[in-house]
Amino acid sequence: MRIGSRLLARGTLLLLCIITLQQCSAKPEPAQAPAVPAQAATDLTPVASVHELMRDIVDPISDLIFDAVGTEVTAKGSVQTEPRTDEDWAKVRQGAMTLAESANLLKMPRQAAPEGYVVDPTLRGPGAPELAPEQIAAKIAANRVLWDKFADGMRDEAVKVLAIVDAKDTKKLFEAGSQLDAVCETCHLEYFYPGDRKAVIDERNKKASVAPTKK
């Protein structure tokens, strides 16, 4: 009986310890924090408009990929560019990483153009070759799912480039550059200059691209 109650007491003690341990370990951060918070942050403050995101981030940063590899044919002969050093490849990775995350920036609701942005009505607006920011904003608002799909297309191409950087595959980098160019163009043909669709496609069919000879 005594043994029994002692055992019982020990059992209770053990149980108490487990409960206390659980309570103690419940206080700090969970050991395995989820990789992505389940809830999106609600206090995001977009700084750039779509126009500025393109001009100041997407366009210049994508050049780290576009300009990394290619053959320039001049009167003196052809000059081949390709990443050679680890630093060269690191630059391509910076381009791809920034571009991949820029897709998320594009998906964050933001203004089409900065406050007070004035367009030349002969270039942008109804009847002009390019849509005006208000028209772009209306198109995005009418179907955000489609807009997000174009942004995801850009992200997917950028993620492919990350894998190419890991493999240091120059030939694939060249191909990825033209695929990336195509995803930029596809979104522009939908939201920026939809009237140019035919001209752009004709131009694309005329262009020949030369892949680098060395791998």
94 token code pair: 């910076």
Residue ranges in 12-71 that form contacts with ligand HEC under rule CB under 6 A: 50-51, 54-55, 58-59, 62
Among 64, 92, 100, 112, binds ligand HEC (CB under 6 A): 112
How many Cβ atoms are within 10 Å of 129's Cβ, its own excluded? Answer: 14
**Between 13 and 59, whose beta carbon lies closer to ligand HEC?**
59
Lay out the site mask for ligand HEC across 64-103 (x = CB under 6 A, - = otherwise).
----------------------------------------
Please tell me whether residue 135 binds ligand HEC under the rule CB under 6 A: no
First-to-final CA distance of the chain: 83
Please tell me whether residue 107 binds ligand HEC under the rule CB under 6 A: no
* b/e sequence 19-42, b meaning 16+ C-beta within 10 Å: eeeeeeeeeeeeeeeeeeeeeeee
How far is Cα 42 from Cα 86, in angstroms, rounded to an integer? 39
Please tell me whether residue 154 binds ligand HEC under the rule CB under 6 A: yes
**Between 136 and 164, whose beta carbon lies closer to ligand HEC?**
136
How many Cβ atoms are within 10 Å of 179's Cβ, its own excluded? Answer: 13
**Between 78 and 209, whose beta carbon lies closer to ligand HEC?**
209
How far is Cα 55 from Cα 154, in angstroms, rounded to an integer? 16
Please tell me whether residue 193 binds ligand HEC under the rule CB under 6 A: no
Do 88 and 68 form a contact (C-beta atoms < 8 A)?
yes
How far is Cα 200 from Cα 111, in angstroms, rounded to an integer? 27
Among 64, 98, 174, 192, binds ligand HEC (CB under 6 A): 192
Site of interaction with ligand HEC (CB under 6 A): 50-51, 54-55, 58-59, 62, 106, 112-113, 133, 136, 147, 150-151, 154, 180, 183-184, 187-188, 191-192
